[in-house]
Amino acid sequence: MKAFIFAAGLGTRLRPLTLSKPKALVEADGRTLIERCICSLKAAGINDFIINVHHFADQIEDYLAEHNNFDCNILISDERKQLLDTGGAVAAARDLLGNETFLIHNVDIVSNLNLNSFLSKGLQGAAARLVVSQRQTSRYLLIDKDSKLCGWTNVKTGEIRGPALNMHPSDYYKAAFSGIHIFGPQLFPYMDKWPSCFSIIDFYLSVCDIFPIEAEFCPELIIKDLGTPQAIASFSDFQ
């Protein structure tokens, strides 16, 4: 299975660390975020990667070259001209990803997820499978009793999104998205009508009444979002 690492973001939350480098090259406990992500996925048997670049793109390409691509096959999805957001990034990389199921992983997410187990399950009849957790956040996916994605809510603003009218968040399980998911190629044609820049979550919400978009609940899951200087400073490897 291929993996698509989202590494093109501006790293706004990580400023001032990202004023002179991309967030992928910010170090956490002595290792860059991109190295951590590649090596964890490589340990799970993945050797083929697509990595999108935008902010300080040359630095990422130079870093990968200096490290011999960590002995992996890496293709770059170039977003130098325009940052495409998560959904637009997937649509733009379609030719690189091919007509096969692939993993998507945010570069600034570290977890204790058993990747071998998650990947071995594949899609299990779904069009996408999203790793979710019970961590506290303001934005939640709304999941039904069959582990299917049905909507999204912002508990601070009260905003609700989803294909169904008059959704009530209390009718669903609220789960935090992890930034780790498996994407099926049957979804690509449904991206054609979208603009060049769009969110992958908005896309999933638009098709969850057509295809099963499933949540993968991992009770023991610990997610560390290394997207802020405070998170970087306090991070230590999982023991």
pLDDT one-digit tens code per residue, 85-121:
999 999 999 999 999 999 999 999 999 999 999 999 9
The amino acid present at 11, given as its one-letter code, is G
CATH code of the region 2-234:
3.90.550.10
Terminal C-alpha separation, the chain = 27
Longest dimension (CA), the chain: 53
**What's the chain's Rg over C-alpha atoms?**
17
Name the residue ranges covered by the structural domains of the chain: 2-234
Average pLDDT across the chain, whole number: 95
Q: Count CA atoms closer than 13 A to 34's CA, side-chain side.
A: 30
pLDDT at position 69 is 97
pLDDT exceeds cutoff 60 at 239: no
pLDDT at position 238 is 63
- Whole-model pTM: value is 0.95
